[in-house]
Amino acid sequence: MSRISGRPAISTEHVYGLSLRVARWREGTPGTPLLFLNGIGADLAAAAPLLAQIHGREVWTLDMPGVGGSPDALLPYGAPTIAAVVMEIADRLGHKQVDLAGFSWGGALAQQIAIQFPGRVRRMILMATTPVMGAPGIGWAAMFDDDMLASGLKIQTATPLGIAYQTAAMAGWTSVAFLSGLKNIPTLVLAGKQDGVMPACYGQMLAEQIDGALLEMVPGSHLFPFTHAAAIAARISAFLDLPATAQAAA
C-alpha cells in the first residue's frame, strides 16, 4: 500500500540506460496531463502533498537518477539528454502533449523541455526558478530558512552522486537566448516573496523575456509550493483551466 499522498500509481521506466521511478495521480483522466518537475535532490514523496491536491487532470512526476526510488546513473547527463528522457517517458504514457510545472532545478528543466519540444507543451508554470543557473544571488544556504524549518519538510533523498549529476547537468545552463521563442506557450511565473535561494528578480527576468507571461509574487520562501501547497495547487489549477482567450487577455 502506498504511503505517498493521494496514493498514486507507481512504476519504473527504463529509458536510455536509466531506471526512473514514476508516479501518476488520477491516471487516465481526460484532458492534458500535468508533468511536475521537482527541485534538486527532491523526490516524488516530497511533491505528493502538492500534486495530490491538483484535481481534474492526470498529474505525474518522476525521481531523477539517484533520487528517491531511482538508482544512480552510470554516467553524467546534460540538460538536453534528461529532457529527452522525460519526453520519452511521456510518449510511453501516451502523453503527446503536456502541461509543465517546474520547481527550482525542475523549473530550469521545464524551460529546456519547452525549448527542445515546443509543440508538445500546452502551458507552463515556472516556480521559484531562474533562466540562469549559477547566477549571482542564488543562495542554496537559504534552503534552511525559517519557512523550511517550520514546515518540517525533509525533501532531499538523493545520493551524493545523484546530487552531483543533477548539479552538473545544469552547470553553465541558461535559457536567456531562447525565452523569446516561447511566446506561444502560455506561462505563469510564481516567485516567493521571501525566497532567498532564487530571488524574485529571476522570476521577473523570466516574465519579461517570455512574451505574455504572467508574474505573481506569492507568500513564502523557496519552498512555497510545499509549505503553501493548497494555495499553489489551486493557482496551478486555475491557470491550467483558463480558456485560451482569457489567458491571453490576463
Backbone angles phi, psi at 242, to 5 degrees: -60, 135
Q: How many CA atoms lie within 13 A of 250 on its CB side?
A: 16
Q: How far apart are CA 65 and CA 85, in angstroms?
A: 11
> Catalytic site residue 237?
no
> Which member of 70, 104, 175, 221 is catalytic?
104
Annotate the chain with DSSP letters as a single string: ---STT--EEEEEEETTEEEEEEEESTT-SSPPEEEEPPTTB-HHHHHHHHTT--SS-EEEEPPTTBTTSPPPSS---HHHHHHHHHHHHHHTT-SSEEEEEETHHHHHHHHHHHHSGGGEEEEEEES--SBTT-TT--GGGGGSHHHHHHT---B-B-HHHHHHHHHHTTT-B-TTTGGGGTTS-EEEEEETT-SSS-HHHHHHHHHHSTT-EEEEESSSTTHHHHTHHHHHHHHHHHHHS-HHHHHH-
Cα separation, 214 vs 175, whole angstroms: 18
Q: How far apart are CA 224 and CA 146, in angstroms?
A: 12
Residues that are catalytic: 104
